[in-house]
Amino acid sequence: MIHMSRPQQIKYTLLASAVAIACWGMPLSLSGKASDLNRQLAIPINNGTLNAQRRQADQYVSEGQAQVKAGELKAAAESWQAALAIYRQIKDMQAQGEIYEALGDLYADLEMFNESEEAMRRRLGIAREIDDFQGQIFASNALAEMLLRRNKPAEAGQIAADGLLIAQDVKNAKGIGLSLSNMGRAANGIREYDRALDYFERAVQSQREAQDFVGQARSQNYWGDAWRGVRNYKEAAGAYQIGLLLAERVKDNATVDHALEGLALSYEGQGQSGSALRYLSDRLAVAQKAGDGRLELRALRSLASYYRRNQDLLQTEKLYGQGVLVAQRIGAKDEELFLSRQLEDLRLRLSLQRSGQLFQR
């Protein structure tokens, strides 16, 4: 690794990313996240095995895909489990691996984390059994991401490191970048920020070389998180800015949301409240434009927290009220209960405050 001063590194990163964005006409892979449930399963439908069992399994796969597109995720899981049972009977290992991968992603979206982790472990086991090296790289990282989500950073880091070794052996730059990024996230999770910063720097370099701009956008944001971990808010803002540019270009709303949140926190950390508020407001606007209720709810909560920290209780009350309505609309019961309690507490405080003012008069 070339050693440069930190200002030189940031300058190089900004320049290289600007060049990459300018060269966007080249064919790119935009599949930075395995859990894009609208993608087609890679199972070769009726690939010469035209018996009744295979046709039935393939039909279940197609039904599950249609159910995902219709938002019927639980029904899709049932369809894919039915397909999986048949693929087991006819000993189609490749198809089983594809189904386990899809189920892992689907269960994650349903927040069925035990089932998701189990499916991802089975996917990795099959990839190892059939010597599918690319499958091992990305299955390892899918499992690592689930472990991170379940607050198991040490185990996640080891699994991602296994993926890195394979990616390096087969010279898969995208897999190298993804593995390093997840190792950085794991190091962040155990507050080993210096190691995390090194991993993210290397991840971004590999992802840039692979033209994996979705992956790079996400790594830039995680890099920003690590900089905030050591309270270097200026460097953090620089990382998030690149993450934002890339995420907007590839239309990855969740990564745009992460970048805007990070920018707001970085500028607030530098005492620049006006800039922080602007990014929080942008975050809410992006979520509303995308029609993503989950992102909108998160944006409302962070904006309400900002106003509460700054003692603007009336604006906080308004945002909590909006959040309750959004939570009701998307069926987020836990969020609705939390925000309702926050709203009740805040209204009590406002009532006491008003009573105190009247008494003083």
Q: Which residue is listed with tokens 């409302």?
A: 300
CATH architecture of 34-40+54-131: Alpha Horseshoe (1.25)
> pLDDT at position 349, please?
84
> pLDDT at position 59, please?
95
> pLDDT at position 176, please?
98
What is the greatest pairwise CA distance in the chain? 87
User: Degrees (nearest 5) of the Cα angle 103, 131, 32?
Assistant: 50
If you write DSSP's letter for every residue of 128-148 in order, what string do you get? HHTT-HHHHHHHHHHHHHHHH
3-state secondary structure 203-238: HHHHHHHCCCHHHHHHHHHHHHHHHHHCCCHHHHHH
> pLDDT at position 351, please?
82
d(C-alpha 325, C-alpha 319), whole Å: 10
d(C-alpha 336, C-alpha 198), whole Å: 40
Nearest CA among 150, 220, 151 for reference residue 180: 220
Domain boundaries, the chain: 34-40+54-131, 220-281, 291-361
Say what the pTM is: 0.81
- Per-residue confidence in pLDDT tens, the chain, 361 aa: 333 444 444 433 444 444 344 334 333 333 333 345 545 466 655 555 458 899 999 999 999 999 999 989 999 999 999 999 999 999 999 999 999 999 999 999 998 999 999 999 999 999 999 999 999 999 999 999 999 999 999 999 999 999 999 999 999 999 999 999 999 999 999 999 999 999 999 999 999 999 999 999 999 999 999 999 999 999 999 999 999 999 999 999 999 999 999 999 999 999 999 999 999 999 999 999 999 999 999 999 999 999 999 999 999 999 999 999 999 999 999 999 999 999 999 988 888 877 765 445 4
Alpha carbon 36 to its chain centroid, in Å, reads: 11
Question: What CATH number should be reported for the domain whose range is 220-281?
Answer: 1.25.40.10
Q: Which two tokens stand for residue 337?
A: 């209960």
> pLDDT at position 51, please?
84
d(C-alpha 247, C-alpha 215), whole Å: 9
> pLDDT at position 247, please?
97
CB atoms within 10 A of CB 342: 20
The torsion of the CA quartet 81, 83, 89, 93, rounded to 10 degrees, works out to -90
Same topology between domain 34-40+54-131 and domain 220-281: yes
Q: Which two tokens stand for residue 106?
A: 């689907």
DSSP class of residue 41 equals P
d(C-alpha 255, C-alpha 257), whole Å: 5
d(C-alpha 113, C-alpha 143), whole Å: 11
d(C-alpha 13, C-alpha 31), whole Å: 22
> pLDDT at position 26, please?
35
d(C-alpha 75, C-alpha 87), whole Å: 19
